Structure formats: structure tokens, C-alpha cells
Structure 1
Amino acid sequence: MELELLGKISMYVMGVVLAASLIEAVVLHFKHKGTDRAFDWHETWISLVDLVGRKLLAFVPISIATPVFNFAWEHRIHTVTTNTALTLFLLFIGQEFCYYWYHRASHTIRFFWANHAVHHSPNQLTLSSAYRLGWLTKIAGSSIFFTPLVWFGVKPDVVLAVVSINLLYQFWLHATWIPKLGWLEYVFNTPSSHRVHHASNATYLDANFGGVLIIFDRLFGTYVEERAEEPCVYGLTTPVTSHNPIVVEMQHWVSLAKDMFYAKSVSDAVGFLLRPPGWLPNGEGHTTEELQKRAKSMEQQPAHAGQ
């Protein structure tokens, strides 16, 4: 009965999410019609195809995280009952901490990035971007980052439910029309903070990994504020130009497989798998660190030239 109720709630929530994203799309279409910011419906359709594909693939019983969760649950050090406000609060904070590191790893380890890049592939940021998460999410095994919560004694289905609530909160963060929200920016993840996260500007890369909160970004030095003098440019550093959903979904996996196959050594192959996106063995790649160094160097060139 509980699963049936949760299923109905999930269906209604998804209906609201889809309706809101399509209403926004129609409004933005007419608002920017005939301008250089014309709405691109292809981005919305690709997100919808991604959503349908993930729902269908959910029936495929393949998941890296499931056996890991089962092992952690069998060897848990305690059994947590989530029937008090304090327990729920601690679970929320613990989940948020794990989410931060999952999200950060998804940008700094190429294996996880291969799937997460799909979420960053839209060249315009809209509410529909929120549910473009990648078909191979289960195979990528991102849920393993929440294993400590299971090992501490929180039931796996409860952990996944809390993560789902976290992701649902993030839906509204993908709006470009919501301004900064004052003091809330210091504690919560907001549309302004998330716009930075989706930007491909060198100075904005790999920032603001929080889910509901922004406090761990501030604590671990990954918070970057949105600045009016540097408007966000959305998408990947190498923009996706294809309107083919299969290309959008699979191009980073194919690229990773090719790099590993043609690697000159085992260590290089492992490097392609586990080092940051853009890494090359010769040190001349396009990692975030390298892109930011080059951007900073270019900013300094005019000053040197005038001396």
C-alpha cells in the first residue's frame, strides 16, 4: 500500500514538473521570439526523451549501487529509526554531505562525468534541463556515494527517497528568470548559485555542488558567486551541436571508451577513466584547472604587453 501511494505521489509530482517546464518553455518562446535569445525547442525535446528513456531503463535490473547498498545494510553498525525530528535533520545533513561529494566527483572523475555531462549539455538553461540526467545513471553507480548512510543504519529505500526529494528541490534552480534571493544565498542553493554551476565560463567551472544547501561549497572552497559583469554561458566548454538524443546521451561514454582503448599504457587508460574530464597524459589537456590557468594568463597578457 505504501509503495502504491508513493507511486501515485511520484506520478502527480512528475506531472507538475512537466507542466511547469512546458509552461515556462511557451512563455520563453514568445518572450524571446525574433531575438538573439530565441528559445530552442530542441533542448526541451531532448530532455523529454531523456526522461522517457530513464523511466524505461528503470525496469532493467542492472545497478552498481544495489549490491553495494545490500552489503552495507547487512554489515550496518546500527539501525536508524527515522521517527524523530532530530533524526530526520541529521539524515538530511548527512545526505546533503554525501550529495556534495557525489556531485563534486561527477565533475572531477571522468567515469562519473560521462553520464553527468548529459545534464550539462543544454546550451540554454531552463526548467526542462532539470530532468535531463542521463540514461545510464544506474550503470554509472552514482548512488554509491550515499553508502555511508546505509552503513550507519538508514534503510536503502529511505536513503534513495531523501535523495529524490533533494533532486526535486533542485527543479526550480534551473530557472534563469529568478533573481538573487538575499540572505538565502548564504545558506541555500538558489537559482543564482545553480546558474553558475551550469555555466561554461572558465571562472565559473566546477563550482556550487550543493543540492539543497550551499554551506558545504562555502566550507570546502567551491562556492562562486554569480556576477553581473560576467553573464553565464550555458552548456559544455565544447558545446553540443547535435539534436540527436542518442548522440547527446552516449558521446561522452564513446569518447571515454576510445581514449582508454587507444591509450599507450595501462596507467594512461586508468588516468582517462579516473582523472578529471579533459585530462591528457602530456599535461596539455583541457581540465578545469588548465582552462582557468589559460584564461587567467590571457587576462594578464595586455598588462604585460604594455610594459
Structure 2
Amino acid sequence: MLALMPFFYWLHATFAIFTIELTVLTVIFAFIFQDFLYYWFHRASHQCNWLWAAHVVHHSSTNMNFSTAMRQSLFYPIVGMWVFWLPLIILGYTPQLVLAIVALNLAFQFFVHTELGPEFRVLGKVFNTPVHHCLHHAKNPQYVDKNYAGVLIIWDKAFGTFVKSNGESPSYGVTDREYAVSFFDVVFTPWRILVSNLQKQKSATAAIKLLFNKPGNLK
């Protein structure tokens, strides 16, 4: 992200629609809008092979604790996570503010990666909680591809991806395969699998289609 800052400043200087004065209200709006954009980035990461090859690193753990939150791919800048924050810059928010808000959003998410958090019955109607996020990391069929929220669970409720526990305990990991406790396996194997499947395609069109298809059971 930091390496792209010159590009973000150029984009802001050239295409910003508004000059936004920073007030409590404009910062709150930026935080909510960024969280909305994060929801779509996260949802897309589960629906697109290109993004999933990076995001699967985060889901490869068979445990759910704070160390899982730190399990992140080196390839997020390459797959284009930052593209989802561009609407904020084009709207008129400065790159440094956008980066700060993204960092705050991710900092909040660190604390939902635990099985020990309380249920938060009232706050959990609006905010993402450990209970919600544990189900997101589950590979049980009824919980897969649900609860994409960063901070606000309202996006899942609004767009039909919210799920609550049916009483079955979550089993963590991914359905594709079980990854070794190895940096190289977790980070690079998803790309090896994706490249292998791309090489099997009979045309460039088919390869591009595969890149943006929903991840399947790739071996």
C-alpha cells in the first residue's frame, strides 16, 4: 500500500470530485463507507479465484484465535485489495486518511478472531462480533461464504449473507485441502494450484474466466 501512495496522491489531485473538510460527520461517513467497501472486497475474495489465492491464507488455519488474524497473504497488494478503497479517494478523501481508516477497520477485526468473546446480544445486531466471525471461518456447509462483515454486520443482513449458529460448532479451515503448518505451503501453494489450473485451459478466454470464477475444489 505504501508503495502505491504516489499513485493515490495523483489520483486524488486529478480526479477528486469534492474537497472534503474533515469534521466528525465526514470522518464517520468515511469510516462507514470504507466498511461498506470492505464488505464487497471480502465477499469478492470468496467469489473470485484471483482474490481467493491471496485470501485463502487467512482461512487456512484450523484454529480460531488471535494468531489467525495475523495470518495474511503477502500478495494482497498484487491482487488489488487497494482497488476497493479508490472510491473514497475519488470522492475526495485524502490518501493518508483512507489508509488510517483502513488500518482502524483492520485493527477492530483483530479482536473478532477468538472463540472466547462474549455474544454481545445487543451490539451484535449492528456490529461484527467474535460469534459472527467464528462462523465466517467455519467450513461447515451451512456457514460457508457468510458473515463477511468488517466492523458492521448490517451489510450481511442487508445483502443476504448473514448467518447465525444453528447449534452446530464450527469446524475451521477450508474445504479445498488441509494446509501444512508451513509459510511456503500456506502462502504459495494456492498460487501453484491456480497456475496449474490456468495451464489446463484451452484458450486465453477460458483462462481469464477461470481467474474470475468462484473458487472450486482445486487439488
TM range, smaller chain:
over 0.9
Match of 1:112 among 12, 27, 51: 51
Separation of aligned partners in 2, 1:66 and 1:115: 24
1:235 aligns with 2:169: no
Q: Which amino acid aligns with 1:238?
A: D
Alpha-carbon shift at residue 89 of structure 1 (Å): 1.3
Q: Taking structure 1 as reference, are residues 221 and 69 closer, same or farther at Cα in structure 2, changes over 3 Å only?
A: farther
Separation of aligned partners in 2, 1:253 and 1:72: 33
1:80 aligns with 2:80: no
Any gaps of 5 or more consecutive residues in structure 2? none
Alpha-carbon shift at residue 273 of structure 1 (Å): 0.4
Question: Which stretch shows the higher mean deviation, 208-217 or 68-77?
Answer: 68-77
Q: Which amino acid aligns with 1:273?
A: L
1:95 aligns with 2:34: yes
Name the SS for the 1:117 alignment partner: helix
Separation of aligned partners in 1, 2:10 and 2:45: 23
Residue of structure 2 in register with 1:250 after alignment: 188
Q: Deviations over 1:207-247 (max 9, x none)?
A: 1111110001100001011232x110101113424122111
Any gaps of 5 or more consecutive residues in structure 1? 1-57, 279-285, 288-307
Contact 1:96/1:211 (8 A) holds in 2: yes
Residue of structure 2 in register with 1:139 after alignment: 78
Name the SS for the 1:108 alignment partner: coil
Q: Which amino acid aligns with 1:79?
A: T
Match of 1:271 among 190, 193, 209: 209
Separation of aligned partners in 2, 1:260 and 1:71: 33
Q: Which amino acid aligns with 1:175?
A: T
- What are the residue-to-residue correspondences of 1:160-239 with 2, within 5 Å? 160-228=99-167, 230-239=168-177
Displaced runs of 4 or more, over 3 A: 65-70
Separation of aligned partners in 2, 1:75 and 1:201: 44
Structure index of larger Rg: 1
Q: Which amino acid aligns with 1:215?
A: I
Alpha-carbon shift at residue 69 of structure 1 (Å): 6.6
Residue of structure 1 in register with 2:11 after alignment: 71
Q: Taking structure 1 as reference, are residues 70 and 247 closer, same or farther at Cα in structure 2, changes over 3 Å only?
A: farther
Q: Deviations over 1:148-207 (max 9, x none)?
A: 110000011211110110000011101112232111111000000000110011111111
Name the SS for the 1:79 alignment partner: coil
Alpha-carbon shift at residue 72 of structure 1 (Å): 5.0
TM norm structure 1: 0.67
- What are the residue-to-residue correspondences of 1:286-297 with 2, within 5 Å? 286=217
Separation of aligned partners in 2, 1:243 and 1:68: 36
Separation of aligned partners in 1, 2:90 and 2:186: 36
Name the SS for the 2:93 alignment partner: coil
Name the SS for the 1:173 alignment partner: coil
TM norm structure 2: 0.93
Q: Taking structure 1 as reference, are residues 110 and 175 closer, same or farther at Cα in structure 2, changes over 3 Å only?
A: same
In the alignment of these two chains, the number of paired residues is 218
Q: Which amino acid aligns with 1:152?
A: L
- What are the residue-to-residue correspondences of 1:277-288 with 2, within 5 Å? 277-278=215-216, 286=217
**Paired-residue identity, %:** 37
Alpha-carbon shift at residue 80 of structure 1 (Å): 1.4
